[in-house]
Amino acid sequence: MSNPTDPTAAIVHGETALGIEFGSTRIKAVLTGPDHQPIATGAHDWENQFVDRIWTYSLDDAVTGMQEAYATLVADVRHRYGVELTQLGAIGVSGMMHGYLALDAHDRLLVPFRTWRNTMTGPASQQLSELFGCTIPQRWSIAHLWQAALAEEEHVRDVARITTLAGWIHWRLTGRRVVGACEASGMFPLDPQVAWRADAVAAFDEVAAQRGLNWSVTELLPEPLPAGADAGTLTPEGALLLDPSGHLHAGCLACPPEGDAGTGMVATNTVAPRTGNVSAGTSIFALIVLDTPPAEAHPAIEMLSTPGGDPVAMVHCNNGASEVNTWASVFTQFAERLGVPTDQGRIFEALFTASLDGAPDAGGLVAFNYLSGEHLVELEEGRPLVLRTPDSELTLANFMRAQLYSVFATLRVGLDVLLQDDAVALDSLFAHGGVFRTPGVAQRHLAAATRVPVAVGETAAEGGAWGIALLAAFARSGAASLPEFLAGVFTSAETVVVHPDPIEVEGFETYYRRQMAALEVERVALRHT
């Protein structure tokens, strides 16, 4: 047994946990040590493609990106500690939730991976929501499958199984066809015992049979598992897939693969009722853990589970910080044109900090960050826009405040619906994701938008890769419950809490009303461009 405070000994003795997350723009690997804090990281940048009007990623790119992220982590270990990483204590895989990976009986991909970002399953979403008596958003795996059936796509009769990106990678590494509870709850309705809801299974099988499809949906779906369950081990083939150099040994424990919502809850220690978090990246979503589900279903709210199986209300927006990133790239190019090339991190810091000097209502500006469709405001596609009137104050500070406000404005639409339910209570939010990397900026704007205190921790930018590493460590720990395990992890965690400023709350309200009133401009742009 290694020294519990010595990362080098833990690496040598295989007492670490590795988390790999497939995010929208980055595949990230995090290695944690005996105290469950990150001791090494690796990453690989990637991007989705818009092919034949479908948002997709190449699975070959997913594998090579994972290998690159792991290789850079191994190099980081070698640089920091002077040892070679050859064995792990546990491993976990996380990924963008939902989407559609359809395989035939020989595990061949039938159509390109359809991601959560696609808003092409409206009829299926509506039909299934009515059939199951709960909200089935367009992103969910079952909505994609049923939409393909409604459209009579040729591949449908060859579908033998469907999974998610995290589920597919986990299968490649372990040979097990499983998904974690939170990931599962974004594929098909899940019951509190972390099993596919029996009445929904029966209802779906019946309508599928009426279309001549010889399916049982339970045969198509992977097995759902709660946090801490046996999800297999890293096989020799899986070890070689992850580390083509052949140095990594097989045999370490694997936790159930999870979606980014579940790993976000873990990374922010918001798995208990009345806690919530906001994750902001390419998309943005809020998750609030409930004592009981809301009294009525609403299209703006979807019900998921914590990795342990407790009910969670989710407000999801397809569009998060991508447009902010695009503008940062423009300003980076401008700096290069001036002959003063600047690290993009400094560009982000300068732009974000400038927003704090903007008028509370962004000086009359309105920014739409809609690169893709947005169901909460009934847009099938997106058109990024910046609007101003002749008397608006166009300054860098106001421009950036409007851009950052736009990240949170659509989230407010769903939160307003959710918090109308008397059974739903929210005391504070924990924020994480790259947009919160610049201290005290996006956090302050989110507090104004949601009107509740917002906390950010030291690991705000580590996100889901650290969260899935914690789930892997939990599976290995033998702890009685996930909340109990996380209580120990977060005992000495440092957080910074920002309370809503009344002036900024009023300013955001003004901005928010202006943006909602201008939605018709977005719709006109969509019709004519």
| pLDDT, tens digit (0-9, with 9 covering 90-100), for 74-96 | 999 999 999 999 999 999 999 99
Give residue for tokens 């809801």: 197
Residue 2 reports pLDDT greater than 60: no
Q: Which fold has domain 1-95+164-178+229-256?
A: Nucleotidyltransferase; domain 5 (3.30.420)
Residue 447 reports pLDDT greater than 90: yes
* CATH number, domain 98-159+188-221: 3.30.420.40
Q: What does 436-501 look like in DSSP terms, one character per residue?
A: G-STTSHHHHHHHHHSS-EEEETTTTTHHHHHHHHHHHHHHHT-S-HHHHHHHHTTT--EEEEPPP
Spell out the residues 6+ positions from residue 498 whose beta carbon is closer than 8 angstroms to its own. Answer: 440, 443, 444, 447, 453, 454, 455, 456
Spell out the residues 6+ positions from residue 521 whose beta carbon is closer than 8 angstroms to its own. Answer: 385, 387
Spell out the residues 6+ positions from residue 72 whose beta carbon is closer than 8 angstroms to its own. Answer: 29, 41, 42, 43, 44
Confirm whether 1-95+164-178+229-256 and 98-159+188-221 share one CATH topology: yes
Phi, psi at residue 429, to the nearest 5°?
Answer: -130, 145
Half-sphere exposure of 95 (CA within 13 A, CB side): 28
- Whole-angstrom distance between the N-terminal and C-terminal Cα of the chain? 64
Taking phi over 0 as left and psi of -120 to 50 as alpha, with beta for the rest, 311 belongs to beta
Q: What is the pLDDT of residues 27-48, one digit of tens each?
A: 999 999 999 999 999 999 999 9
Q: What does 192-221 look like in DSSP terms, one character per residue?
A: TTSSB-HHHHHHHHHHHHHTT----HHHHS
Residue 4 reports pLDDT greater than 60: no
Phi, psi at residue 20, to the nearest 5°?
Answer: -125, 125
Q: E strands along 35-177, which residues?
A: 38-45, 49-51, 54-56, 90-95, 101-103, 161-163
How far apart are alpha carbons 15 and 2 in whole angstroms?
8
Task: Write down the pLDDT at residue 459.
Answer: 59
Q: What is the pLDDT of residues 262-317, one digit of tens each?
A: 998 998 899 988 889 998 888 898 999 987 777 777 888 889 999 999 899 999 89
Q: What secondary structure letter does DSSP report for 247?
A: -
How far apart are alpha carbons 463 and 460 in whole angstroms?
6
Q: What is the mean pLDDT of residues 141-146?
A: 98
Q: What is the pLDDT of residues 207-257, one digit of tens each?
A: 999 999 988 999 999 999 999 999 999 999 999 999 999 999 999 999 999
Give residue for tokens 């690496």: 11
* CATH number, domain 268-528: 3.30.420.40
Lowest mean pLDDT among 266-270, 354-358, 366-370, 400-404: 266-270
Q: What is the pLDDT of residues 408-433, one digit of tens each?
A: 999 999 999 888 776 677 778 999 88
Q: What is the pLDDT of residues 463-516, one digit of tens each?
A: 789 999 999 999 999 888 999 999 999 887 788 999 999 999 999 999 999 999
pLDDT band at 1 (very low <50, low <70, confident <90, very high): very low
Nearest Cα to Cα of residue 396 among 361, 369, 356: 356
Structure tokens at 430: 């924990």
Task: Write down the pLDDT at residue 423.
Answer: 63
Domain locations along the chain:
1-95+164-178+229-256, 98-159+188-221, 268-528
Nearest Cα to Cα of residue 467 among 439, 490, 451: 490
**CA–CA distances in Å: residue 118 to residues 72, 124, 138, 474:** 31, 13, 8, 33
CB 272 within 8 A of CB 197: no
Residue 5 reports pLDDT greater than 90: no
Does the predicted model carry a pTM greater than 0.85? no
**CA–CA distances in Å: residue 466 to residues 8, 128, 180, 259, 461:** 19, 34, 16, 13, 10
Structure tokens at 77: 């270990």
Q: What is the pLDDT of residues 325-351, one digit of tens each?
A: 999 999 999 999 999 988 888 999 999
Q: What does 389-432 look like in DSSP terms, one character per residue?
A: -TTS---HHHHHHHHHHHHHHHHHHHHHHHTTSTT-----EEEE
Task: Write down the pLDDT at residue 433.
Answer: 81
How far apart are alpha carbons 229 and 481 in whole angstroms?
11
Nearest Cα to Cα of residue 410 among 241, 226, 251, 284: 284
Task: Write down the pLDDT at residue 178.
Answer: 98
Q: What is the pLDDT of residues 190-210, one digit of tens each?
A: 998 999 999 999 999 999 999
How far apart are alpha carbons 368 and 405 in whole angstroms?
9
